[in-house]
Amino acid sequence: MAEIRIEDIIKPENKVYGKSKIMTDTPLHYCYGCSHGVVHKLIAEVIEEMGIQEEVAGVAPVGCSVMMYNYLDIDWMEAAHGRAPAVATGYKRVNPKKYVFTYQGDGDLAAIGTAETMHAVNRGENIVIIFINNATYGMTGGQMAPTTMVGQVTSTSPYGRNVDINGYPLRITELLAMLPGAAYVTRQSVHTPANVRKCKKALRKAFENSAKNIGTSFVEVVSTCNSGWKIDPVASNQWMEENMFPFYPLGDLKDGERDSFEQFSVQKLKKEVK
């Protein structure tokens, strides 16, 4: 039997997978088991496959992904906490042919930045918003987020989220899907290979939509934060499936384009008043 040498295996024709050229060589600072790295990789792959490296700008948030600009070799803006959709709006309005996306956590997008998020989508800005929902503030050490589940223990809800004190978890994605400016609103996850592939398809569609000027594309990724949740990565995936998916069900909430003027003319303005 002939000896198998490593040189015979490592050949271009045998290559089935590689790191996207858009990913830099900077080691990711995320915890083991965190969903951020997977989503970063998917965005990098989509940008590479669409060949839009020179045409895209990202808006980094405040949160764990604040230094996302270290990992993807594209132009970046680092927004103030919650303001990424406004920054993306300003960028896109003066560069209508470019692609721009925001990447935001639940605190950034659904607490401090709720107004900017709602209004950017309601205006139908031709931007991509990527929303990482891990039901906690990861960077600051696991505090309660707007999306924290009822009963979930965090450092600022140490006895579990209590609706009488803390109010209810916010399903902002459902709210956004109701807005006429939204083109595509979907909820994904990246905890299994099948879900990773689905999520990538969703991201690709979101970026393609922004070139078609059909409204805002919004991709939520229900994610884990094992450090913040204080459980191991495998148990985190299970916790997410059992507790988050029933409340944050995966799938498309809207897939089309923003309402046309005719569609939206539910209330015809009366003639000018004299």
Partner 1 sequence: MKGNEVIAEAAIRCGCDAYFGYPITPQSEVMETLMARMPWEETGMVVLQAESEVAAINMMYGGASAGRKVMTSSSSPGISLMSEGISYMAGAELPGVVVNVQRGGPGLGTIQPSQADYFQATKGGGHGDYHLLVLAPSSVQEMNDFVDLAFQLAFKYLNPVMILTDGVIGQMMEKVELSAYKPRWTDEEVEKLNGSWAATGKKAYRERAIKTSLELIAERQEKHNERFQAKYRKMEAEEVRYETIQCDDAEYILVAYGVSARISQKAVGLLRKEGYKVGLLRPITLYPFPKSIVHQLADRVKGFLTIEMSSGQMIEDVLLSVNGKTKVDHFGRMGGVIATPGEVVEAFKTKLIGR
3-state secondary structure of 244: helix
53 binds partner 1 (CB under 8 A): yes
Task: Compute the least distance from the CB of residue 46 to partner 1, in Å.
Answer: 15
Task: Compute the least distance from the CB of residue 24 to partner 1, in Å.
Answer: 9
Angle at 237 between CA 173 and CA 200, to 5 degrees: 55
Quote the CA–CA distance of 215 and 21 in Å, as a whole number.
Answer: 29
- What lies within 8 Å, CB to CB, of 232 at 6+ separation is 33, 226
Among the listed ranges 7-15, 59-67, 194-202, 266-274, the one in contact with partner 1 (CB under 8 A) is 59-67
How far CA 209 is from CA of 42, 206, 236, 272, in Å, comes to 17, 5, 32, 37
Task: Compute the least distance from the CB of residue 216 to partner 1, in Å.
Answer: 14
| Distance from the Cα of residue 214 to its chain's centroid | 19
Among the listed ranges 3-11, 54-62, 142-150, 176-184, the one in contact with partner 1 (CB under 8 A) is 54-62
Binding to partner 1 (CB under 8 A): which residues in 67-106?
Answer: 67, 69, 73-80, 83, 86-95, 98, 100
- Which alpha helices (H) appear in 123-192, and where do they start and end? 163-166, 172-177
60 binds partner 1 (CB under 8 A): yes
Q: Which is nearer to partner 1, 5 or 97 (CB)?
A: 97
Closest CA to 29 of 69, 83, 82, 85: 69
Binding to partner 1 (CB under 8 A): which residues in 205-234?
Answer: none
Task: Please report, as ranges, the residues that interact with partner 1 according to CB under 8 A.
Answer: 53-57, 59-60, 66-67, 69, 73-80, 83, 86-95, 98, 100, 115-116, 118-119
